[in-house]
Amino acid sequence: MAKKNDGGFQSQAGLVRYFDTENDKALKIGPKVVIGIAIAFAVIILVLNTFAPMN
């Protein structure tokens, strides 16, 4: 009788298992900073579009 080999989650449907790793040398930016930068870019784009339209 054949044994059922359960390879786990990684072998099902071609999914790849990713491991959570942290690098101490990497630049760490908080989520509030990212949101602040995004809002700042949006404001800059709106201001530039108002004073120097592309059309």
Q: Tens digit of pLDDT for each residue in 7-45?
A: 555 455 555 666 666 777 878 899 999 999 999 999 999
pLDDT for 11: 52
Q: Is residue 13 part of a domain?
A: no
Report yes or no on 37 lying in a domain.
Answer: yes
Give the tokens for residue 43: 């404001």
d(CA 17, CA 51): 49
Tokens 């059922």 locate to 4
> pTM above the 0.85 mark?
no
Residue 36 forms part of a structural domain: yes
pLDDT for residue 53: 84
Residue 11 counted as domain residue? no
Tokens of 40: 């700042």
Q: How far apart are CA 32 and CA 46, in angstroms?
A: 21
Q: Which domain holds residue 39?
A: 23-55
Count up the domains in the chain and report the number. Answer: 1
What pLDDT does residue 27 have? Answer: 86
Establish if 3 belongs to a structural domain: no
